[in-house]
Structure 1
Amino acid sequence: MGIRYNKITDKHQREIVLLKSFPCKYGKCSFCNYIEDNSTSEEEINSVNFEVLKEVTGEYGVLEVINSGSVFELPSDTLAEIKKVVKEKNIKTLYFEIYYGYIKRLNEIREYFDGIEIRFRMGMETFDDDFRINSYNKNFRVSDEMLSLMSKELYSVCLLVCTKGQTKEMIEKDIEMGLKYFKAITINIFIDNETKVKRDNELVKWFISKYSHLTKDDRVELLIDNKDLGVFEQ
């Protein structure tokens, strides 16, 4: 049993919904057990999502939509329902997740939600290409030119920290790069989840002693537990 709706009431106040979607186009990230929430039944996906979207009140004018994949894996009926809710509840800002492979298609979503500020987040996990590819099985490299494009197209990136094989220097550089190129970053401290990626508890202790002040930084959302956003699927 999961929780699919929540309100974030501290910094960056917003409503957040966890929607069902078609399978993630990539679906091979070695740390992710999240894609178990996917479905191939459009009817089931829409039925779940329509119920969740009924809970949105619009009280903050900001809605974040997350799903196990990208906004492009949501069925068209779900997108239409989001659009309807956004209009009815006078929501001005919408957050969506995307996968790297969709980076050049973001205007499709901006045009569909014309008049709404769209903020895209992407799972970068780390700026170290080799570690991203070899340890996280997230198969893309980022050139300086691509980084420059991404900094224009994306509002924020997610970083995954404190996994076995990572070093303090990599984490320091990731945070520095994230804040240099993007308006905001989300930092997830990894929690063991039966995938082959494992948590490094020594790194966690170091990270919390060094970076717990980031909870007060407006540009950073620090998730010490991956359920900190209050939505999750068991």
Structure 2
Amino acid sequence: MDRYNKITNKNNREIVLLRAFPCIWGKCSFCDYIDDNGRDEDELNKLNKEVLDNITGEFGVLEVINSGSCFEIPKETMNYIKKIVDEKKIKLLFFESHWCYRNRLDEIKNFFNIPIIFKIGVETFDYDFRNNFLNKNAKFKDAKEVAEKFQSVCLMVGIKGQTKDMIRKDIEILLENFKYGTINVFVDNTTSIKRDEELVQWFRKEYSYLDDHPTIEVLYHNTDFGVGD
């Protein structure tokens, strides 16, 4: 599995996919990403350090992702990230977190003491679809609640059961409330959630202009950041 890459088409940065302890929620109906989690702390730290040793610092920006939230990354690995950040003169970090950790984000900010863009996978701003169908357990009512804590949101499009109106509204909310965003086009996996090919093709045509948006990234496949499998 590829766990290190350089992103150079927009928002130039290095990105690493680390292994962490099990996701605190781990019940999203569409997600089999959590299979990358582990419980052997020594094994996780060993692999993570090997991945982090690839970082050059050439962009001064680093994104760290894992199959869950940054709070599930082992402490020894977090200390190693801090060491790399200091040595390579990283000026900006991207981390991802579940909604349930929203009141702990300052712990990460204070630990690294550099600007951090926190990403959150909301998948959709439609409350019912997000929580009752996708089972996200992110029970905010309004995008402004999210924007108070997070600077970037991840949306998901192309799922059977979604509608064009839902997607239109989601993208409108994203563009109005957040500087950064990632839109993931759903790819069938081992879960029972299925891709809606007609909806995907409509989205590709309707929102092709987002490919040129400087801070919105559209992932047509879940490995488009160059990490994962």
> Normalising TM by the smaller chain, what interval?
over 0.9
The match for 2:175 is 179
Task: Write the deviation string for residues 14-68 of structure 1: whole angstroms up to 9, x where unpaired.
Answer: 0000000000000001111110000011101100100000000000000000000
Q: Percent identity?
A: 55
Rounded Cα–Cα distance in structure 2 between residues aligned with 1:55 and 1:139: 35
The match for 2:158 is 162
Indicate whether 1:86 and 2:85 are aligned. yes
Paired residue secondary structure (1:132): helix
Which residue, 120, 124, 127 being the options, matches 1:126? 124
Whether the aligned pair in 1 keeps the contact of 2:14 and 2:61 (CA below 8 Å) is yes
Whether the aligned pair in 2 keeps the contact of 1:5 and 1:231 (CA below 8 Å) is yes
Rounded Cα–Cα distance in structure 1 between residues aligned with 2:144 and 2:166: 20
1:229 offset after TM fit, Å? 0.3
Please tell me the root mean square deviation across aligned C-alpha atoms, in Å: 0.9
1:134 offset after TM fit, Å? 1.9
Rounded Cα–Cα distance in structure 2 between residues aligned with 1:62 and 1:222: 19
Task: Write the deviation string for residues 171-218 of structure 1: whole angstroms up to 9, x where unpaired.
Answer: 000000111111111000000012111000000111111111101011
Structure 1, unmatched stretches of 5+, are none
Whether the aligned pair in 1 keeps the contact of 2:122 and 2:138 (CA below 8 Å) is no
Paired residue secondary structure (1:187): strand
Paired residue secondary structure (2:175): helix
Indicate whether 1:72 and 2:108 are aligned. no
The match for 1:211 is 207
Whether the aligned pair in 2 keeps the contact of 1:126 and 1:174 (CA below 8 Å) is yes
Q: TM-score, normalised by structure 1?
A: 0.96
Rounded Cα–Cα distance in structure 1 between residues aligned with 2:163 and 2:188: 18
Paired residue secondary structure (1:153): coil
The match for 1:46 is 45
Question: Which amino acid in 2 is paired with 1:219?
Answer: T
Q: TM-score, normalised by structure 2?
A: 0.98
Whether the aligned pair in 2 keeps the contact of 1:135 and 1:197 (CA below 8 Å) is no
Change (3 A) 1:74 1:197: same
The match for 2:198 is 202
Aligned residue-pair number:
229
The match for 1:103 is 102
Rounded Cα–Cα distance in structure 1 between residues aligned with 2:106 and 2:67: 21
Task: Write the deviation string for residues 115-155 of structure 1: whole angstroms up to 9, x where unpaired.
Answer: x11110000000001001122111232223xx324213211
Rounded Cα–Cα distance in structure 1 between residues aligned with 2:13 and 2:227: 13
Rounded Cα–Cα distance in structure 2 between residues aligned with 1:196 and 1:188: 18
Indicate whether 1:230 and 2:226 are aligned. yes
Rounded Cα–Cα distance in structure 1 between residues aligned with 2:139 and 2:50: 38
Paired residue secondary structure (2:207): helix
The match for 1:16 is 15
Task: Write the deviation string for residues 83-129 of structure 1: whole angstroms up to 9, x where unpaired.
Answer: 00000000000000100000011000000001x11110000000001
